[in-house]
């Protein structure tokens, strides 16, 4: 069977890393064909208690 275009990625908080706090991480999937660039989303960080920018990491 052929593999699909979807891959599992991890999103990590960028603002927490700058402040030295523990970063929140989310796991999600993306379609590599439609979004070849790294994904960026605003997600909730429970450690900082606000929505922050999360970027895709390896």
- Give the pLDDT mean for 20-26: 91
pLDDT bracket for residue 3 (50, 70, 90): confident
> At 1, is the pLDDT very low, low, confident or very high (cuts 50, 70, 90)?
confident
- When divided into structural domains, the chain yields a total of 1
Give the predicted TM-score (pTM) of the model: 0.84
CATH number, domain at 37? 2.20.28.120
Q: Which residue has the tokens 């994904």?
A: 39
Residue 19: domain span: 6-56
Closest residue by Cα to residue 13 from 39, 44, 34: 44
* H helix intervals, 7-54: 15-19
> Is 1 a domain residue?
no
Give the separation between CA 54 and CA 17, rounded to whole angstroms.
11
Phi, psi angle pair for 17, to nearest 5°: -65, -40
Position 21 in a domain = yes
């Amino acid at each position: 069977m052929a593999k699909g275009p979807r891959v599992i990625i991890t999103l990590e908080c960028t603002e927490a890393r700058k402040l030295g706090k523990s970063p929140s991480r989310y796991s999600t999937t993306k379609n590599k064909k439609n979004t070849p660039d790294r994904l960026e989303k605003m997600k909730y960080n429970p450690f900082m208690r606000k929505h922050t920018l999360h970027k895709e990491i390896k």
